[in-house]
Structure 1
Amino acid sequence: MATQEQILHYAWKYQLYAEPEWTTTDGEQLRVITPGIHNTDAGPDFFNAKVQLDDITWVGNVEIHGRSSDWLRHGHDTNPAYDSVILHVVGEADTPIRRTDGSLIPQVVVRVPERVVRSIDWLLSREQAVPCIDRLSGLDDRLLYGWLSALVGERLKRKTNDIFRRLERTHNDWNETFYITLSRNFGFGTNSDAFEWLASGLPFKYICKQRHSTVQIEALLFGQAGMLSDTRDDAYYRTLQREYHFLRTKYSLRPIDAHLFKNFRTRPLNFPHLRVAQLASVWAHNDTLFSEILEDPSADRLCRCFDVPLSAYWNTHFHFDYPSPPHKSTLGPAAARLMLINTVVPILYAYGLQKNVPEYCERAERLLDSLPPERNAVIRPFTEAGIRARNASDSQALLQLRREYCEPKRCLSCRIAFGLIKHSLA
């Protein structure tokens, strides 16, 4: 259930209150011209609001509480940061409130329509991962796709910030940053952290030095993943083990623990051994991949960079333990497109921002728009509810919506929820 303060805050922000005009607790006539800008940091709740009290127009900040006495309980009467407040919005006026100089602050009791309160409580009390899923049919397309456009921007910003943190750790080395980002995404969620640890402990320059030998690249990656520490009667395995022993000594490497990689409840095609083999094959076939990406190849060309053949061993194995029936071992077109969505697009976008070259950001956005939407369990409820993802940009936006708004119950920050609440007043 939402608190009274949350409901008041929401109603004030979106002007969902019942009365067009009020009388303050001191008898002044109040008219709201603009509610102000929502402040997400410390300080008053809304900046630069504009209200008219009797015949005087005031511009300043607005603070919102369930009760007037919360002003005192939160210590605002002794905090100069709240001296700029021109109006105190409350659900119950139980005491006068003052600035640090003792001057009174006008207060108004706001009544939120019962239908708005019920709609908010309904959203926040739902147990579904997508609380409003039953009411999405018939949603206005302008509201929906405008919100999706903003959400994909949020998701790109989050991924860009992750890349900038890696860039700082690699001392502004874009090739190394790209290599670590790509490696992480070969973990496909379940093993993303382990793949990032693997790449962080194996500098890209050592991959480059062995670029003419697929076996040595495989040996470096499998060895650093801690997957070559056993004794096996397998010629391919022993070859990798022998090569890694030499390279580990040569480059003074320390492998990570193989137990960091997870197999439990993982489909064979997503086993970490096969993913390591696929990652090795990418570098064996593309020794200047980051430079190629900057040259603006087509989406099809980029997909072919990732969907490359592996050593024949992996056509009959998913790991080193025992053979399997023959199967396709390459990454596959759908997974290759995920590499474009999760690696190439954010890398291009981050590179454009860091280098102040907007063309790279625009290329990243165009690439995302040109790719088909993802199909997965996170997005499926929206599809079943009638929301059509037109491209990868929309599916990324839906992932952002589900992960950052629906699941943490941030309905009061979601434009879709606002549209549904607003509709309840019609």
Structure 2
Amino acid sequence: MKEDFLHYLWKFKKFDTLNLKTSNEEEIIIVNVGEYLELAGPDFFNAKITIDDQMWAGNVEIHLKSSDWYVHHHERDVAYENVILHVVWEHDTEIYRKNNTEIPVLELRKYVDKDTVANYQSLMSPKAWIFCEKQLAYISPFVLKNWQERLFFERLERKSTAIYELLEQTDNDWEAVLFCLLAKNFGLNTNGEIFLKIASSIPFSIIRKESFEVENMESLLLGGAGLLDDEKEDNYFKDLKFRYYYLLHKYQIEKGNCNPVQFFKHRPDNFPTIRLSQLANLYHHNQNLFSQISEITSLETIYALFQVSASTYWLDHYQFDKQSPKKKKMLSKSFIDLIVINTLIPIQFAYAKSRGIERAEDFIQLLNEVAPEKNAIIDKFGSFGVKSLNAFESQAMLQLKNEYCAKSKCLDCAIGMELMKCH
């Protein structure tokens, strides 16, 4: 048994509250269980409890055993001086404040229904992948859908943190933030952080000026990635290298120093040369991209906006000095879907929130039209009977796995709560 089970019992009063008594046989009436903040200090703040007709207002601390009070050295911490009730599963010793007054103890196991304990033990039985994998398919669709909506917006809130940090770094320039986020997205998992560092190192005022010449854009991005450092016979390489060092001198930019970009294990269409050229062309064709996407609700409009390809040179190249069969390197529909999921919706969400505008239904509707991601987590949930039919659902399930299942926060999860109900 874990303390989070006791937190759940106390928070939702999942025990007999009518005949409560302290370990010293004093009558307890819970007026307010307090606020569960999950911060340092006592577990529940500002509770109101009557003990033998005396009303107390203060904090409640919860442990598996009373003696855990001393194990955790709460007797030395002034933050625990205002504890009015010590809620435990097993009472094994008396607890005293610094002034030697005894803290009342409620031994919870005397008041909890056996079915509640059995449901908890069933839910938290040894897991192969997640605790509830055998019961997941039987959860009410109503419960699951509502929980997915909450999970989806939790995920957007988490993604917004990085967006607001970038806003501070760019003096609240939404166009600059979008450029950085798109760069990270174009780099995928392997090169994403490197692409982000490259984009962040170039003042966006320079991107605005130089995007009218796509070769200048390419030189800034490929040069920043260290892809113009060598000596090659290729004329296009020589031209970009000349432009790159000219622009460094023109704008007094220091040459970037980032980790080498990765080609290994990538399909050629995902090579950093191709992705950076596509990003350069995207901004060459769209000088004010954020103003165009900030309120777009049509998926078809987004697809049209991102119909860009790498530059002409890359028609028959994936790397400098290595010719390949001709192929137009367009952004694929599946790649644009990833941009919608990981960049456009998060930045639209953060922008709407910053302006106090409610657009929740827009985001849900848009991602209902986008295909779900394909990865091991989504596939695994599908094998347990919960298939993601669109990106809204797959994003929710990723949030569920990463923030709840992986952290064993079953009693903070709507699915876990549903399974805890006595049947």
Asked whether the 8 Å contact 2:21–2:28 carries over to 1, the reply is: yes
Find the aligned partners of 1:371 and 1:274 in 2 and give their Cα distance. Answer: 24
1:126–1:141 distance in 2 versus 1, CA, 3 Å:
same
1:192–1:47 distance in 2 versus 1, CA, 3 Å:
same
Could you tell me which of 72, 83, 103 is aligned with 1:85? 83
Sequence identity (%)? 39
Q: Tell whether 2:10 aligns with 1:12.
A: yes
Aligned to 2:37: 39
Aligned to 1:418: 417
Aligned positions of 1:146-185 closer than 5 A: 146-185=146-185
Aligned to 1:94: 92
- 1:47-87 CA distance string (max 9 Å, x none): 34455545666554321112212223434345443344332
Asked whether the 8 Å contact 1:348–1:363 carries over to 2, the reply is: no
- 1:174-209 CA distance string (max 9 Å, x none): 221221122111112221110111101122222221
Aligned to 1:335: 335
- 1:386-411 CA distance string (max 9 Å, x none): 22435432221111112222234333
Aligned to 1:409: 408
- Structure 1 unmatched runs, 5+: none
Q: Which amino acid aligns with 1:119?
A: S
SS at match of 2:85: strand
Q: Tell me the CA shift for residue 233 of structure 1.
A: 3.0
Q: Tell me the CA shift for residue 16 of structure 1.
A: 4.3
SS at match of 1:90: strand
Which sits farther off after the overlay, 175-184 or 384-393? 384-393
Aligned to 1:204: 204
Which sits farther off after the overlay, 359-368 or 106-115? 359-368
Asked whether the 8 Å contact 2:166–2:177 carries over to 1, the reply is: yes
Which sits farther off after the overlay, 146-155 or 79-88? 79-88
Asked whether the 8 Å contact 1:89–1:108 carries over to 2, the reply is: yes
Aligned to 1:385: 384
TM-score by length of 1: 0.87
Q: Tell whether 2:120 aligns with 1:126.
A: no
1:293–1:137 distance in 2 versus 1, CA, 3 Å:
same
- 1:19-53 CA distance string (max 9 Å, x none): 86443211134455654432211222123445554
Could you tell me which of 64, 67, 70 is aligned with 2:65? 67
1:158–1:170 distance in 2 versus 1, CA, 3 Å:
same
Q: Which amino acid aligns with 1:352?
A: A
1:410–1:100 distance in 2 versus 1, CA, 3 Å:
same
Which sits farther off after the overlay, 272-281 or 362-371? 362-371
1:337–1:246 distance in 2 versus 1, CA, 3 Å:
same
Asked whether the 8 Å contact 2:160–2:347 carries over to 1, the reply is: yes
Asked whether the 8 Å contact 1:227–1:258 carries over to 2, the reply is: no
Q: Tell me the CA shift for residue 246 of structure 1.
A: 2.2
Find the aligned partners of 1:99 and 1:35 in 2 and give their Cα distance. Answer: 21
Q: Tell me the CA shift for residue 258 of structure 1.
A: 6.5
Could you tell me which of 22, 25, 30 is aligned with 2:23? 25
Q: Which amino acid aligns with 1:74?
A: H
Q: Which amino acid aligns with 1:91?
A: W
1:361–1:42 distance in 2 versus 1, CA, 3 Å:
same
Aligned to 2:244: 244
SS at match of 1:137: helix
SS at match of 1:291: helix
Aligned to 1:223: 223
Asked whether the 8 Å contact 1:371–1:392 carries over to 2, the reply is: yes
Q: Tell me the CA shift for residue 144 of structure 1.
A: 1.5
1:110–1:328 distance in 2 versus 1, CA, 3 Å:
farther
Q: Tell whether 2:284 aligns with 1:284.
A: yes
Q: Tell whether 2:273 aligns with 1:298.
A: no
Q: Tell me the CA shift for residue 164 of structure 1.
A: 0.7
Q: Which amino acid aligns with 2:384?
A: A
Aligned to 2:262: 262
SS at match of 2:318: coil
Find the aligned partners of 2:43 and 2:160 in 1 and give their Cα distance. Answer: 29
Asked whether the 8 Å contact 1:353–1:361 carries over to 2, the reply is: no
SS at match of 2:87: strand
Could you tell me which of 94, 113, 118 is aligned with 1:115? 118
SS at match of 1:189: helix
Asked whether the 8 Å contact 2:378–2:387 carries over to 1, the reply is: no
CA RMSD of aligned residues (A): 2.8
- 1:134-179 CA distance string (max 9 Å, x none): 3311111222122212111211111111111111111222221221
Q: How many residues align?
A: 418
- 1:1-21 CA distance string (max 9 Å, x none): x54x34333333344457864
Find the aligned partners of 2:25 and 2:50 in 1 and give their Cα distance. Answer: 13
Aligned to 1:144: 144
Which sits farther off after the overlay, 23-32 or 150-159? 23-32
Which sits farther off after the overlay, 391-400 or 217-226? 391-400
Asked whether the 8 Å contact 1:225–1:255 carries over to 2, the reply is: no
Asked whether the 8 Å contact 2:234–2:321 carries over to 1, the reply is: no
Q: Which amino acid aligns with 1:226?
A: G
Find the aligned partners of 2:62 and 2:42 in 1 and give their Cα distance. Answer: 8
Give structure 1 regions of 4+ aligned residues with deviation exceeding 6 angstroms. none
1:258–1:233 distance in 2 versus 1, CA, 3 Å:
farther
1:321–1:30 distance in 2 versus 1, CA, 3 Å:
farther
Asked whether the 8 Å contact 1:78–1:99 carries over to 2, the reply is: no
Find the aligned partners of 1:127 and 1:323 in 2 and give their Cα distance. Answer: 48
Find the aligned partners of 1:258 and 1:101 in 2 and give their Cα distance. Answer: 59
1:133–1:238 distance in 2 versus 1, CA, 3 Å:
farther
- Structure 2 unmatched runs, 5+: none
Which sits farther off after the overlay, 293-302 or 184-193? 293-302
Q: Tell me the CA shift for residue 263 of structure 1.
A: 2.6
Asked whether the 8 Å contact 1:22–1:29 carries over to 2, the reply is: yes
Find the aligned partners of 2:279 and 2:42 in 1 and give their Cα distance. Answer: 51
Q: Tell me the CA shift for residue 133 of structure 1.
A: 2.6
